[in-house]
Amino acid sequence: MLPKEELVEQAYFFRILSERIGERLAMQDLLKQVKYELLVSTKLPMAVDFLLTELLHGGAMGPAMRRMQHYFTPFQTFLVDEAEYDRGRFGMQTAVKVLQHDAEYRSGTPTPQGCFLYQFETLCRNRLRYDPGLKAMSEDPIYDADWSRWILEVRHQIGLVDMADMIFLRSEEYVTRKRAVDGPDFQPKLPPLFGEHEGRMAMANHHKDPLFLFAALQRHLGYPKVPRATPADLTVEIIPQLLRRMERLETRLKIMEEEQRHGLDITKFYVDPKKRPDDSDPLSDD
């Protein structure tokens, strides 16, 4: 885990990228600008320099982040790789927003439960690939060995077993219910990873959309929310379109006024089919 000041600076870095990507600036220019705004007492400016060099030479930041696994988590690298994937629908602006909220949450008092739910909801909402995504999640330093093994189990069972059931079976609520039935001597084979509240909400969302479960956990337990992709702003093109239409209307009104005054000479629009263009004309088709 990185120190708090590094995570705070990462959150600021991704927030600035998210705001300025909307200005349609090249990523190379953005990195050149932003690196001078970062705190030089952290290691982020050096990381940005390495990202910029790799971007200028290779055209992508994902390989550079993969080589800096001591600074960027595998899940951060996975999100950038998905944003740079040509055939994907996951944009870079959405990716940096997700990274911004992730860094903000980690700079506070993060928990493995909150990080897992945030990362998994990111996969669900943005329709990212589950197999490499869960593999990257299992390598996150915030998870211990029990968490990593369980995430890899989820990786193999996703789509076959309900997500709410998998959370419930690894919660303290499941242990409490089993002890009420089998006796107080019941001991689970695997340690619980979620608390009673998470288990109770997971049981209440059995066979429902996982997004409903995530929303309930965010409302009641304050887990971080995943930013959603903002639709494109179409109002930017409205004024130029209106100007072009007004020019056309003005031209039509002038023609109608000339016609009413009997001053419209349509012969000037005629083209003599026998007249050939001048051979000396450089714009001639012949």
Q: What is the pLDDT of residues 90-114, one digit of tens each?
A: 888 899 999 999 999 999 999 999 9
Based on the fold, state whether residues 72 and 7 are members of the same structural domain: yes
Picking from 213, 229, 245, the residue at the C-terminal end of a domain is 229
Phi/psi region, residue 183 (left: phi>0; alpha: psi -120 to 50; beta: rest), is left
Based on the fold, state whether residues 1 and 84 are members of the same structural domain: yes
What mean pLDDT do residues 203-211 have? 89
Whether pLDDT at 224 is above 60: yes
Place of tokens 């012949």: 286
3-state DSSP of 46-66: HHHHHHHHHHHHHCCCHHHHH
What is the value of pTM for the model shown?
A: 0.78
Segments of 98-225 assigned E as strands: none
| Residue from 215, 79, 186, 176 nearest 137 by CA | 79
What mean pLDDT do residues 33-46 have? 90
Based on the fold, state whether residues 91 and 146 are members of the same structural domain: no
Based on the fold, state whether residues 8 and 36 are members of the same structural domain: yes
pLDDT class for 283, splitting at 50, 70, 90?
Answer: very low
pLDDT class for 71, splitting at 50, 70, 90?
Answer: very high
CB atoms within 10 A of CB 125: 17
Tokens, residue 260: 């009413």
pLDDT in tens, 144-183: 999 999 999 999 998 888 999 999 999 999 999 999 988 8
DSSP one-letter string for 226-273? PPPPPPP-GGGGHHHHHHHHHHHHHHHHHHHHHHHTT---GGGG---T
Based on the fold, state whether residues 47 and 122 are members of the same structural domain: no
| Residue from 49, 60, 41, 59 nearest 3 by CA | 41
Based on the fold, state whether residues 171 and 74 are members of the same structural domain: no
Residues 6+ apart with CB under 8 A from 14: 96, 97, 99, 100, 103
Based on the fold, state whether residues 130 and 197 are members of the same structural domain: yes
pLDDT class for 212, splitting at 50, 70, 90?
Answer: very high
The identity of residue 256, as a single letter, is M
**Least confident span in 33-47, 195-209, 265-279:** 265-279
Based on the fold, state whether residues 144 and 172 are members of the same structural domain: yes
Q: How far apart are CA 174 and CA 254, in angstroms?
A: 80
pLDDT the model gives residue 254: 82
CB 38 within 8 A of CB 44: yes
More confident residue, 145 or 85: 145
Domain-located, residue 242: no
Based on the fold, state whether residues 60 and 129 are members of the same structural domain: no
Whether pLDDT at 259 is above 50: yes
More confident residue, 87 or 116: 116
How far lies 142's CA from each of 6, 109, 112, 222, 228, in Å?
15, 12, 6, 19, 24
Handedness of CA 170, 176, 179, 181 (dihedral sign): negative
Based on the fold, state whether residues 28 and 124 are members of the same structural domain: no
Whether pLDDT at 53 is above 70: yes
Domain-located, residue 87: yes
Q: How far apart are CA 235 and CA 279, in angstroms?
A: 48
How many structural domains does the chain have? Answer: 2
List the domain range (segments joined by +) for residue 156: 111-229
| Residue from 167, 224, 227 nearest 197 by CA | 167
Based on the fold, state whether residues 131 and 205 are members of the same structural domain: yes
Domain-located, residue 150: yes
